[in-house]
Structure 1
Amino acid sequence: MNKKEIHDAITKALLNRFKTAELAAKQAHQAATGDESVAENKYDTFGLEASYLAHGQSQRVIECEQDWLLFSKKALHLHRIDHPVTLWTLVELEALNSALSEKKYFFISPCAGGLSVEVSEKSIFSVTASSPVGKALIGKVVDDEVCLTKNGHQVAYEITSIQ
């Protein structure tokens, strides 16, 4: 698995999220300032609601831009195999006690938790260090066992690779 490809895929997904947020903010702003937002009576709150939405969308644009810039400017480095999991590492897990060879891939990120990207027909999940999965992985090394919740059940995994 190529860590650079994964980093690039996450960066591209964050750029797409940023552009979508910009478009939504522009549309919300137009709705808030358009002729139809002028109140017809004291009970007409469409304009007020549209302005709240526009403000929220503009805040979302700022957050999305910060996430994208953080990823796009980060110099990628390979992680030494004997070092524990930290931020900016890619972790490969394999399920223990499973008939299937189930593998999971997590990218430990300072932002964009919950984002999923497809690289080489594999799903890579971005998790933050403060998430339950991030907390379980931070500080672990190759061959360590971690338990993660899957569909309400605890599943044991072994860390097979750290990049």
Structure 2
Amino acid sequence: MSNAAKMAHEAAIHEENIPDNKYDTLSLEASYVAQGQANRAQELKHALQTYQHLTLQPFGENDNIRLTALVTLRDESGTTKTFFIGPREGGLKLQLDGEEIMVITAASPLGSQLIGKSVGDDVELGGSCYEIVELC
């Protein structure tokens, strides 16, 4: 990501991209791309540092869901989905022992529903009702 930001920056300042007239915006557009990529690289760097220093919390079956919880939901047909509630960068899908785990944040729609609930409670996901069946 950092290399892409550097390349976009170089493109923005390259002599071939100097505007010929006020309607030539190639250099300006390249600078926007470079800035966006640099910002995203910084966000990812901060997220990585956050996860490197993250302390996983222990959970008992009667505890309420909070940050660092690994939560398994089951729908009426028996299909299960597992989620890890992380501090940043939700949306990442991981594989653990052949099971898919989706990283979500407490600020996400599902995360905000889960925070404070416990095993046996219900949540809605994609128009379906799921029961919280496991918390670790």
Q: Same fold (TM over 0.5)?
A: yes
1:33 aligned residue: 13
1:11-160 to 2 correspondences below 5 Å: 21-96=1-76, 98=77, 101-149=78-126, 154-160=127-133
Unaligned stretches of 5+ residues in structure 2: none
Separation in 2 of the partners of 1:123 and 1:23?
30
In the superposition, the TM-score normalised over structure 2's length comes to 0.90
SS in 1 for 2:104: strand
Name the structure with the higher helix share: 1
Q: Which amino acid aligns with 2:87?
A: P
Unaligned stretches of 5+ residues in structure 1: 1-20
**Identity score, percent:** 40
In the TM superposition, residue 33 of structure 1 has moved relative to its aligned partner by 2.1
Separation in 1 of the partners of 2:44 and 2:65?
25
1:11 aligned residue: none
Separation in 1 of the partners of 2:112 and 2:36?
30
Separation in 2 of the partners of 1:42 and 1:144?
60
- The superposition leaves residues 51-78 of structure 1 with CA deviations (integer Å, 9 ceiling, x where unpaired) of 1211111111111111111011112232
CA RMSD in angstroms comes to 1.5
Q: Which amino acid aligns with 1:159?
A: I
Q: Which amino acid aligns with 1:51?
A: S
In the superposition, the TM-score normalised over structure 1's length comes to 0.76
Q: Which amino acid aligns with 1:42?
A: K
In the TM superposition, residue 124 of structure 1 has moved relative to its aligned partner by 1.0
